[in-house]
Amino acid sequence: MSALQRFLLRWSMSLKVSALDRKLLRDVWRLKGQTLAISVVVAAGIALLVGTYGCLAALQASKDVFYERTSFADVWASVKRAPNSMHDKLAQIPGIATVETRIVADATLDIADMIDPARGRIISVKEGEIPLLNQFDLLAGRLVQYGRPNEILISDAFAKAHKLGLGDTLSANIYGKKRKLEIVGIALTPEYVYALAPGQIMPDDKRFGILWMGYEALSAAYDLEESFNSVTATLLHGAVEADVLQRLDILLKPYGGVGAYGRKDQISDFFLTNELAQLASSGAVAPPIFLGVAAFLLNIVISRLVATEREQIGLLKAFGYTDWDVGWQYTKLVAIVVGFGLALGLWGGVWFGQGMTSMYTTYFKFPVLEYRVNAGVFASAAIVTVIAGIIGGVSAVRQAIKLSPAVAMAPPVPTSFNKSKFSIWFERFHISQPTRMIFRHVTRWPLRTAMTVAGISFSVALLIASFFFMDSVGKVIQVYFYQAERQTLTVSFVEPRGAEVEESILRLPGVLATQPVRTVSARLRHGPYTKRSAVNGLVKSADMNRLLGADEKPLDPPDGGIALSEHIAKELHVQVGDMITVEVLQERRPVIEVPVTQVVKQYLGFSTYMHISELNRLMHEGPTVTGIHVLADSRYINDLYTKLKNTPMVAGVAQTEASLRGFQDTMDQTMYVMIGFYIAFSSLIAFGVAYNSARIALSERARSLASLRVLGFTRQEVAYILLGELGVQTLLALPVGCLFGYGLAYAMSPMLKTDMYDFPFIINDPTYGFSVMVVAIAAAICAVLVRRRVYNLDLISVLKTRE
Amino acid sequence: MQMTQTQRSQVAAPIETFRAEALTKVYPGETPVHALRGVDLEMYEGELAVLLGPSGSGKSTLLNILGGLDQPTAGHFYFRGRDVTKFDQEELTQYRRDNVGFVFQFYNLIPSLTARENVALVTEIAQHPMTPDEALQMVGLGHRLDHFPAQLSGGEQQRVAIARAIAKRPSVLLCDEPTGALDSKTGIVVLQAIVRANQELGTTTAVITHNAVMAAMADRVIRFADGNISSIERNTTKLKPEDLSW
């Protein structure tokens, strides 16, 4: 008896615990390995539930509070240039509560600690005032003042990424003029909680920052005096957003309006909402799986316990304990096991939730984002635990209740076996008796074997479904960065330029090749379906930015038609050959009908493509570009950056490698962390199922195995019989698990599709291999643990007692 | 004229199979239990001994030590001159595998194997075994070869256990209350099987029992009391099992 057991015994005596309860405590102690395995699986499910929903609640609360407090806008619109006098007309649109006009412009920034240029989004503010809508939190410093045109506020994340503080300066290339700007304040805005630069796929705090500048200074810099180019507004309660958007478009059309949009197309809110939805769906999928497995384990362990204790149960009933007294004992056993799992899971869930929440703080910039213990989440965790306990325990407890004392006390009839069709084979191939025992046990209880196989294969499946995310991400990276976007960088211009600009870029140091691109904002329409998208004009035989067909082979942009990303084609319900309406949302806003001539494969940043000269013709313009893709020699890249930073017409430089790095970092920090958790939890399931199965087999067959030892079988030979069964079950489970895994991954893959990403359903062979290996290792570890028990079988006491 | 092996052993000094010297077994605990208190005993080839005594007198403990299931706290036990008390776990397993056959009160058959397969379990790992069929013939179960334990009566199950014990032609057959769970008629059939194995294979046989009637079929009757041998009697005439009744 260990010191702990002695302590528990004394403690239970001092509490005047009934004999029955003492038996219960000892049962729990005796079965500690098995009950702990179940508790841990319960805990895994609860931890996922509490962590995920707690984090979701934290994000939701932070978002709601931040939006509410800062008057986050409901609608946005951009124009080329509209006079400030339009403001009042806009305010009169029915349904609009508050409207605010401002200037929003992009500039390249030259930061001392970085060679390549960063991109800045500059928003105008009235000097000395906080905006009416999308109010920022001033975290440090003060507002910009009238008459000091070089004062700016910068976003907190950008300041932190470059260790910029109050009084520091940075230089900006604003509309062709180099300006030295002084930081007077640090701010945080609801508009850029998720700060994604145009054309990028992941936020990059080092390369994209938000700046606020006084209206007078910014309007002067951009030749927008007494004018604005951006509108934001909040809506009255009950206003119909679509009506307001339509009226905005009509009013702003003469001023070069680029189409108004609501929150669902506002980049930051779009990502935030998407993330919340994804979190909610992953929180709804994983915990039930774990709790289901826990219920399953609970069922097999408690059922076997009742079966082995049938004599004791009979005795208790013979002594005068009621059926319910006995049932209650086993109910308490279930309660202890799941209760411990719940406690462990709540503790683990808080820890997991904190980790997850702090991970989100790196991507979503809120003033406060803290995981808080949430009573509602805890309560639902407790409820689902109770449900799992009931599902797992009810049949076993009922067995105990229904056992009649006379039946229970009679020795159990020896399990009967029948000669199966295998028997002939056994003889023919001279199969040894131990091997026959393994096969007869596996086939004698097909349901139990099937359950164990199902349990183990489920963990294989869960692993495959977790690893599959990595395969999918790997595929996206391979296609997007190595086949579709092969340029070193993309230069974008403040305004559309003549095609001759390509020549001047080509002459810059280190530039090996260039490829022009013309991008316009458009609304695509097909019957009742509409979609806002950029239309990109590409050249033929492009080497850098390429279209890929369904077979991932490069395609040329269509002649006289339009190519749609698969995702957009699906949303618009169109196929190759259908006609769609393209309403360009800028310049002269032409509207044309074009045939869809290609559907292209894209996993990231869905877009629409035409031949560049077609697009220019549509826009009634000569050869025009908005950007140039550049292939550069890495040896001269610093010179190239320096040149670009000082080139007036450049509004931004996007580096492919930086965005690949950003993408990979994000995956490492978010997805892979989550996947790591899932892998750990899946291994726990494999272990829990295999361990319980082997322990039950051991307790049922200790006598047989001890007899064999007495007959002169070595410990290894006896262990072979017991563990051979586990081995056969595991071997059966591995291929079944691979099949399940394929199905599970397939079922989960739509969860990964958003308006921004389309992670493909792809499972690489190593994923199957890894998953099988992890489970095989988990099974091997339990085999080693159980083998120790086989080695220590007490030969004498086992043989002296009747079963 | 040459003497047969059996004749020689009857005439010449009997060959010693076991010798126990001052065997002591103490089970430690808050109140240590002295199961054996210095037992000295020899057993001879082909001998059938019946060990009698009340519960707790030490006879099962002795049997466990003789069978290589347990080691004494003190003293020595020699099997054909080798000191078994110095054996490690592997050597004990090998000793059991090669030399000892066990029969228990509760049969301990493997439910998932047929009668023939239960015996084959042993013959597959033994050095000069008889076939499972021969062993089962010897205990009168030639007609029940392919039955699983659940399809056999208690007496039949015990006879399968005996067949399993003797199939390897062991030097020693140790039986712990082999008829304890059986009625007298079935018990006698089981005893017949044991006696037959003893006579035909020349196996040194020790039978533990509560049942004093069985003393009459032994070469020697060894009585136990309080962890030690209280008396040893030699029967001048042995009865056959079928002449016993209880």
Could you give the CA distance from residue A723 to residue A693 in angstroms, rounded to a whole number? 10
Structural domain includes residue A473: yes
- For A704, the closest chain B residue by CA position comes to B110
**DSSP result, A100-119:** EEE-EEEEEEE-TT-SSPEE
Rounded to an integer, the average pLDDT of A571-583 is 92
- Residue matched to tokens 């046989």: B205
Structural domain includes residue A781: yes
- Residue B153: CB atoms within 10 Å: 11
Confidence check: pLDDT of A803 > 50: no
Residues in A touching B65 (Cβ below 8 Å): none
* Mutate which: A707, A713, A790, vs B, most B CBs within 10 A: A707
Structural domain includes residue A357: yes
Residue ranges making up the domain that contains A311: 23-74+268-412
SS3 A177: strand
Chain A nearest CA to B69, separation (Å): 7
**A242 and A292 co-located in one domain:** no
Name the band, by pLDDT with cuts 50, 70 and 90, for residue A744. Answer: confident
Could you give the CA distance from residue B138 to residue B155 in angstroms, rounded to a whole number? 14
Structural domain includes residue A648: no
Structural domain includes residue A2: no
SS3 A481: helix
Mean pLDDT of chain A: 86
Check if B88 contacts A (Cβ < 8 Å). no
- Which residues, other chains included, contact A237 with Cβ-Cβ below 8 Å and sequence gap of 6+? none
Structure tokens at A391: 């599902």
Identity of the residue in A415, A437, A707 whose CB atom sits nearest the CB atom of B150: A415
SS3 B10: helix
- Beta strand segments in A126-214, E: 137-141, 151-155, 169-174, 177-188, 208-214
Check if B27 contacts A (Cβ < 8 Å). no
Chain A nearest CA to B26, separation (Å): 15
Confidence check: pLDDT of A345 > 90: yes
Structural domain includes residue A490: no
Structure tokens at A197: 């630069």
Q: What is the pLDDT of residues A297-332, one digit of tens each?
A: 788 778 877 877 777 787 677 666 778 888 898 899
Structural domain includes residue A305: yes
| Contacts A–B by Cβ distance under 8 A | 89
Q: What percent of chain A has pLDDT over 90?
A: 36
Chain B nearest CA to A315, separation (Å): 21
| CATH code for the domain of A569 | 2.40.40
Chain B nearest CA to A707, separation (Å): 6
**A46 and A127 co-located in one domain:** no
Rounded to an integer, the average pLDDT of A259-267 is 89
Last residue of a domain, one of A563, A598, A632: A632
**A54 and A88 co-located in one domain:** no
pLDDT at residue A801 in the model: 58
Angstrom CA distances, A486 to A53, A348, A543, A642, A660, stand at: 40, 44, 8, 22, 11
Q: Do B64 and A708 touch (CB under 8 A)?
A: no
Check if B149 contacts A (Cβ < 8 Å). yes
Enumerate helices (H) and strands (E) in chain B, giving the number of each. Answer: 7, 10
Name the band, by pLDDT with cuts 50, 70 and 90, for residue A552. Answer: confident
* Mutate which: A429, A711, A722, vs B, most B CBs within 10 A: A711
pLDDT at residue B219 in the model: 94
Does the domain at residues B45-68+98-243 carry the CATH identifier 1.10.10.10? no
Could you give the CA distance from residue A142 to residue A139 in angstroms, rounded to a whole number? 9
Residues in B touching A441 (Cβ below 8 Å): 112
What amino acid is encoded at B209 in this protein? Answer: T
Element (H, E) at A292: helix A267-308
Q: For chain A, how many structural domains are there in total?
A: 4
Phi-psi region of B51 (alpha: psi -120 to 50; beta: other; left: phi over 0): beta
**A114 and A262 co-located in one domain:** yes
* Mutate which: A425, A429, A430, A710, vs B, most B CBs within 10 A: A710
Residues in A touching B98 (Cβ below 8 Å): 712
pLDDT at residue B217 in the model: 93
The ipTM is: 0.71
Angle between helix axes A433-444 and B115-123 (nearest 10 degrees) is 140
SS3 A191: helix
pLDDT at residue A190 in the model: 95
Check if B92 contacts A (Cβ < 8 Å). no
Q: From A160, A128, A131, select the one nearest A144 (Cα to Cα).
A: A128
* Mutate which: B109, B121, B147, B171, vs A, most A CBs within 10 A: B121
The answer to whether A484 touches A555, Cβ cutoff 8 Å, is: no
**DSSP result, A618-659:** HTT-SSEEEEEEEEE-GGGHHHHHHHHHT-TTEEEEEEHHHH
Structural domain includes residue A577: yes
Residues of A with CB under 8 A from a CB of B: 413-419, 432-434, 436-437, 440-441, 444, 703-704, 706-715, 717, 795-796, 799-803
CA dihedral (A283, A285, A286, A289) positive or negative = positive
Please give the average pLDDT of every successive group of 10 residues along chain B, which has 246 residues: 47 81 90 91 94 88 88 93 90 87 82 85 85 91 88 89 90 90 86 91 92 92 93 91 87
Residues in A touching B109 (Cβ below 8 Å): 707
Identity of the residue in A416, A437, A703 whose CB atom sits nearest the CB atom of B150: A416
The answer to whether A186 touches A166, Cβ cutoff 8 Å, is: yes
Q: Do A417 and B121 touch (CB under 8 A)?
A: no
> CA torsion angle for A351, A354, A356, A359 (degrees, to 10)?
-130
